[in-house]
Every structure is written in structure tokens, then in C-alpha cells.
Structure 1
Amino acid sequence: MTDVTTSPTVLHLIRHGESTWNLAGRIQGQSPEAGGLTAAGRAQAQLTADLLAERPSRPTAIVASDLIRARETAEIIASRLSLPLEFDPELREQRLGVLEGQRLDSPFADDPTALATVDRLWREPFLRPAGGESIADMYARVHRALRRHATTRPGTELVLVTHGGPVRMASTPEPPTPGVPVPRVGVDNASVTSITMT
């Protein structure tokens, strides 16, 4: 019999499927105006759910960001796996304040209301856009949530449905250092990134 008190917890982090603002090329952040999933996004979520259902070991629960694009993705997965679904605001995307809703190709440097582009935030991880949070803030929030979920369900597998920023933070083992850029690796819609926490 496995001793769950000493067994690691496996967290399967899933980025939401394609959303309407992904398709429109708009910065989403935590904007309440960012839309839900597109038809392609729902198909992506269903494919990920099917892949999880085929695994020999099954997750015991699904926890999701409460933003609509993550919520819709999680509902599709929870339905396929017949698992309970919980929501955790700490799994939300980075709060980007004045940048939210702007198009990714907008010239932010010329905009007096925007403190930085998204790329600059990753180069300067303690910089906050007006009304938003820094990469360092997001790192602390996401890792706090990961530790909490791993601690409350030791020795299990959990699905955490979240966003590109939190998945990048989960894959970053050390907290950001002032003046040192944080790699902004690609995270595909509905992709699965698994980490083990002891």
C-alpha cells in the first residue's frame, strides 16, 4: 500500500483552449471582457480531456482559474473524467492592468498610459504595469497555490486548468531576481505541463 504522506503529488497544468481574445490578438490578463472559448478552443479542450482519460493513472480532482476561458476548458475536462471541479482565483493569468484589451502588435512604448510591453515585463520581472502585477508577483501567487494544492492532496494527481503565465511560473523553479530576465517560453493552448511536488 502506498504511503500518501511521503508520495509526491503530480500536478498537470493545462492552459485553456483558444479563446476569442487569443484569436483577436488581444492581451487578456484578468479582464472581465476577455471572452470564452472559440469552437477550436472547445475542440482543443476535448482532445486534452480524451488524452487524460486514456492515461493509466487518473487525477482525483480538477481545480481551475475562475476566468471564463479556463472555466469552460475545465468544465469540458471535468465532464469527460467525471471529476469534481473547484475554482481557485490564484490560478488566474497575470493581472496586466492598462495593457488588457490592447492588441499584441500595438506600439505600447508610445502609449503614455502603458508602463511597458508584455515582453518588457518578462525582461524586468519586478516591473508592474499600471493597475497590474509584476512577473515576480505572479510567481509568488502561483507557487503559493501550487504548494497549497500539493499539500492538501498529497500523493495524488491533480489537474490545474490555468493560463500561459501561470504555467510558465510553475515551470520556473527559482523566484525571479531583480535585473535578470525570466524566460517567456511558449505554452500552447490546451497543452499539458506536468510537475511533481514533494
Structure 2
Amino acid sequence: MAVHLVRHGQSAWNVAGRVQGQSPRAGSLTAAGRAQAAALDVTGTVLVSSDLPRARETAEIIAARLGLPVLVDAGLREQRLGALEGRRFAEVQPVIDGLWAHPLRLPPGGGESVADLHLRVRRTLGRLAARHAGEELVVVTHGGPIRVATTGVDPVSGSAVPRVAVGNAAVITVRPGAAV
């Protein structure tokens, strides 16, 4: 069994350099993002997506090619970043980097810590892997969830988590036990 973690295609706020988080204003994919999703070389027997528009649209494009329904799970959402959402990334990058360096810290204006994100995503992926045992999962999500799903660090202990780059339409394949 494999789990293919897919980051959504390019969104309007990616282009604008804005922090998306779970903001309903973040919108969906650009034309380039739709082309990225259409070009993804991923296969599976079950397709699950975050409920945020940019991930759902990516999943729907993949689903059309694979002939699969899209199952939606809010547990796959991006980190809730409070007052940082909608701000220019360049202006708040030190704050965001600080959240990953100190994973128990909450974002300004509410939201969830990296440790909270880690627990939510690990719980969600574990539940999906158990429910679809023996099947190949395609999971369309966001950069933050992919980072915490693939890190070897335990953010709940307070250990810093590397904020590795996860490009739009990136596919990272993991095996059960390695990340779920």
C-alpha cells in the first residue's frame, strides 16, 4: 500500500505571495495550477482531498483522469494561521519560520500550532489508511500537512520542524508506518 501526498496546483494567492492557511478568500487554482493538476502522473484506487477549494479543484482534475470519486476530509486542511492569513508572505515569513522552529507556539490572532497540525494530519492519515487498508491512496492537500506527515521530527515534543519546500503539484509517496 502507498499513500501519494499531492500538494494542490498553483493558486491565485500563491501568485500574489499571500499566506493562504484556511482563509475562504484564498480562492482556487490559476490556469497554470489547473495545467499542473492535469499533468500530474499519479495513480491510485482511492482519492481523498482537503475541503479547501484549491485542493478540491486539483483533486477533481485528477479524479476526471482516474475515473474516481473525490472523497473530502477537512482533516487534510492547511494549518489555520489566524491573523497571518491574507498577509504578504514576505512580510510575515519570520513569524511563520518561528512557528516551525517553535512548534508549540500559536500564530498571532489564533490558529493552530505546528504541533496541533501534526496531530490532526497524522490522525487523519491514520484513519484513512485504516479505512482503506490495502488500497493505494491519493491524498490532495497542502504544503503544511505534507511537511508534518513526512517529517521525522516530533513537533509535539517541542522539537523544531524543518520547513522544507513543497512545490505546487508536488507528489510525495510514503508507505504506511513511515508517515501515517
Q: TM-score, normalised by structure 2?
A: 0.93
| Cα displacement string for residues 41-80 of structure 1 (whole angstroms, at most 9, x for unaligned residues) | 00000000xx22xxxxx41110000000001000000000
Distance 1:173 1:32 in 2: 31
Secondary structure of 1:14's counterpart equals: strand
Q: Judge which range, 123-132 or 172-181, deviates more.
A: 172-181
1:162 aligns with 2:147: no
Say if 1:128 and 1:178 are closer, same or farther in 2 by CA, change over 3 A.
Answer: same
Secondary structure of 1:101's counterpart equals: coil
| Cα displacement string for residues 96-140 of structure 1 (whole angstroms, at most 9, x for unaligned residues) | 00000000122x49xxxxxx7111100110000122000000000
1:15 aligns with 2:45: no
1:178 offset after TM fit, Å?
A: 4.5
Distance 1:180 1:67 in 2: 29
Tell me what 1:105 maps to: 90
Say if 1:177 and 1:66 are closer, same or farther in 2 by CA, change over 3 A.
Answer: closer
Identity fraction in percent: 56
1:87 aligns with 2:72: yes
Where is the helix percentage greater, Structure 1 or Structure 2?
2
What is the one-letter code of the residue matched to 2:170?
A: S
Distance 1:148 1:46 in 2: 28
Tell me what 2:150 maps to: 171
Secondary structure of 2:57's counterpart equals: helix
1:69 aligns with 2:47: no
Distance 2:17 2:44 in 1: 33
* Structure 2: segments with no counterpart, 5+ residues: none
Contact 1:124 1:178 in 2 (8 A): no
What is the one-letter code of the residue matched to 2:9?
A: G
Distance 1:18 1:97 in 2: 22
Q: TM-score, normalised by structure 1?
A: 0.85
1:179 offset after TM fit, Å?
A: 4.6
Pairwise CA RMSD of aligned residues? 1.5
Structure with larger Rg: 1
* Structure 1: segments with no counterpart, 5+ residues: 1-8, 53-57, 110-115
Distance 1:194 1:133 in 2: 26
1:123 aligns with 2:101: yes
| Cα displacement string for residues 19-48 of structure 1 (whole angstroms, at most 9, x for unaligned residues) | 000000000000000010001100000000
Tell me what 1:197 maps to: 176
Which residue, out of 144, 158, 161, partners 2:123? 144
Aligned residues: 176
